[in-house]
A = this chain, B = another copy of it.
């Protein structure tokens, strides 16, 4: 019952464009509950296209193609598919009439090459294209194998998918059941140690649980298959609860949550406000907070204290502390946090000062050393973290932003 996607276009093989169509169709198939095991990309080449179609016919029940339906000589998809099953092409008069009508409505000339688009294999059903000129087809060249073809233009492909492919898939019985999915988000745990904590669940067949790692963040995707959305949710619920129980506070949220959105929500519930004082992140913590819609009822702003003079002048970090301890130190991080809390009147403050590299490190204070302070109504604490000198500047900055937000999150949870 499985499906494959075949995207046709030399521009994909040259790396000129990203294959957004494959991702979009993959998402749709998952949502419809159609199992999907393989994607392929081939160029505008008749022989390779025929080969790919024949191989797919031996493996899957449903082949979805994008691209190569247009009027130019390198648009070969329909022709190659017909040839792969030794079936002749025939012109569909209604398609040719439709193409001419659309061009007339746009005041465009009708060129002879456009007529190629009205050719479909004998026996194929039309997959209408309401907006563009190239239609697709629904064709079963052999029992138990159906091909759906779409143009490569994303807007046309998507409209045709919704209007015709979805009802066809549901009617054909290929879209059996529905998939429901949740993404759980973690900070402060490595992918490997999280995977060990939930090793038995990674083996589960329904729901499936799969780990992903990003820049400091780890995610688990839970996907359940059921007859209805409610059934899928009922399968997901206990697995999510079990994972949350095992992972504890490392699980910070779900789906569209970010560390920033979670922290903002924690403070919003308390009616408290937040400010930031940033050195090595240069505004990255503030930008992460400002990325969340509605941040303004909690986030006041703060100071980008990149130069030491700014730490001193705008945050009142004493010159003596800067001299004695150096800018990357707990006393300076704490003075920055307290300084910005005082200057903005915020209830809470996050301060970050560190060495993002690649220059500026020493044996004592290597690249990747970052001090993070959190100041709140009950005082101020800080810690020095070592992210490792082998990390890139952007990676150290991203980890610093995440760690700073996560520390405030954990502190608020503990109160």
Contacts and interface: CB of A to CB of B under 8 A. Distances in A.
A392 B289 CA distance: 16
Contacts of A301: 279, 282, 303-307, 310, 314
Interface in A73-103: 73-74, 102
A108 interface: yes
B131 A392 contact: yes
A15 B39 contact: no
Nearest to A190: B108
A286 B278 contact: yes
A352 to B, nearest CB: 11
Contacts of A140: none
A397 interface: yes
Contacts of A299: 282, 306-307
Given A301-B304, A343-B313, A392-B155, A40 B40 contact: yes
A396 B360 CA distance: 34
A88 B304 CA distance: 55
Give the size range of A's interface with the partner: 35 or more
A25 interface: yes
Interface string A1-15: 000000000111111
A44 interface: yes
Contacts of A310: 275, 300-302, 344
Interface string A328-343: 0000000000000001
Contacts of A111: 190, 192-193, 196
B23 A19 contact: yes
A379 interface: no
Nearest to A209: B74
Interface stretch (A160-168, A169-177, A210-218, A233-241): A210-218
A176 to B, nearest CB: 16
Given A19-B22, A397-B291, A40 B38 contact: yes
Nearest to A30: B14
Contacts of A415: none
A254 interface: no
Contacts of A155: 392, 395
Interface stretch (A141-149, A244-252, A383-391): A383-391
Contact of A11 (B190, B210, B281, B287): B210
A159 to B, nearest CB: 9
B211 A106 contact: no
Given A286-B282, A310-B301, A390 B26 contact: no
A134 to B, nearest CB: 10
B25 A39 contact: no
A281 B287 CA distance: 6
Given A221-B16, A394-B291, A278 B282 contact: no
Given A287-B397, A304-B304, 15 more contacts: A10-B210, A18-B19, A39-B40, A55-B55, A73-B202, A74-B211, A276-B283, A282-B286, A282-B295, A282-B299, A283-B285, A283-B287, A301-B303, A303-B303, A313-B343
25 contacts: A13-B39, A14-B36, A15-B29, A37-B45, A38-B42, A39-B40, A40-B41, A71-B191, A72-B211, A102-B390, A105-B389, A106-B386, A106-B388, A107-B386, A108-B190, A155-B392, A281-B287, A282-B301, A283-B285, A295-B306, A296-B360, A299-B307, A301-B310, A302-B303, A313-B343
Interface of A: 10-20, 22-30, 36-45, 48, 52, 55, 70-74, 102, 105-109, 111, 113-114, 130-131, 153, 155, 181, 183, 190-193, 195-196, 199, 202-203, 210-213, 221, 223, 275-276, 278-287, 289-291, 293-296, 299-307, 309-310, 313-314, 343-345, 356-360, 386-395, 397
